[in-house]
């Protein structure tokens, strides 16, 4: 499976530490999430989707379309 989190992070010129700080976790935990050692949870998916302005489906590789859904 393509590592979308790493690709998005690199596309935004962020370090793992920068992303971890922005979503409120440690760099080590973020590293585990990015490498797939730790599963993504809703508590991580939502802030990551907001940070990168992509849909959760895109983060989970359920679609290749990064656009977020319109707000209700």
The domains found in the chain, sorted by start residue, are: 4-59 (1.10.260.40)
How confident is the model at residue 23, as a pLDDT? 97
How confident is the model at residue 25, as a pLDDT? 97
In the chain (72 residues long), the average pLDDT of successive 10-residue segments reads 86 98 97 93 95 94 86 72
How confident is the model at residue 71, as a pLDDT? 72
Pair of tokens at residue 24: 């409120």
Q: How far, CA to CA in Å, does 37 sit from each of 31, 33, 53?
A: 8, 6, 24
How confident is the model at residue 2, as a pLDDT? 58
- Strand segments (E) across the chain: none
């Amino acid at each position: 499976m393509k590592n979308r989190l790493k690709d998005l992070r690199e596309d935004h010129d962020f370090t793992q530490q920068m992303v971890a700080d922005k979503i409120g976790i440690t760099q080590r935990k973020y590293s585990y999430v990015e490498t797939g050692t730790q599963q993504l949870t809703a508590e991580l998916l939502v802030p990551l989707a907001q940070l990168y302005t992509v849909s959760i489906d895109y983060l989970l590789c359920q679609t290749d379309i990064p656009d977020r859904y319109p707000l209700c």
